[in-house]
Amino acid sequence: MASQAIDALAAEIGDNVYIDVAKWHLYLSNAHLHTVLAEQLYPVLANNELSEEKLLKLLQAIPVKLGGGKREVPLADLLPMQCQVVLMDLLEEFQRNL
């Protein structure tokens, strides 16, 4: 059951949230970051522990490799504010439906 929920959450995240690089929008599904993020978020949602602060900490803890691994940047630094808002709304809705 949890793996189906994680897959559903990953799909939702992947289709709605993107990173912004030089005004180029790369959706998390295309960047292969949606499943990693969903796996990290699912326990938080299942335990009813979602908060903006918790989400930001989690986003800060997920490294994104750039330039073939020459540099790592936290996922939080690549998400525009509107995507963080979309992500929070999406997570709140997902949590309500758990």
Averaged over 54-80, what is the pLDDT?
A: 97
Return the pLDDT at 16: 98
Asked whether residue 1 carries a pLDDT value surpassing 80, the answer given is: no
SS (H, E, C) 27-60: ECCCCCCHHHHHHHHHHHHHCCCCCHHHHHHHHH
CA distance 26 to 6: 21
Instruction: State the average pLDDT for the chain.
Output: 96
Return the pLDDT at 21: 92
Q: pTM (2 decimals)? A: 0.94
The residue extents of the domains of the chain are: 2-96
Share of the chain above pLDDT 70, in %: 99
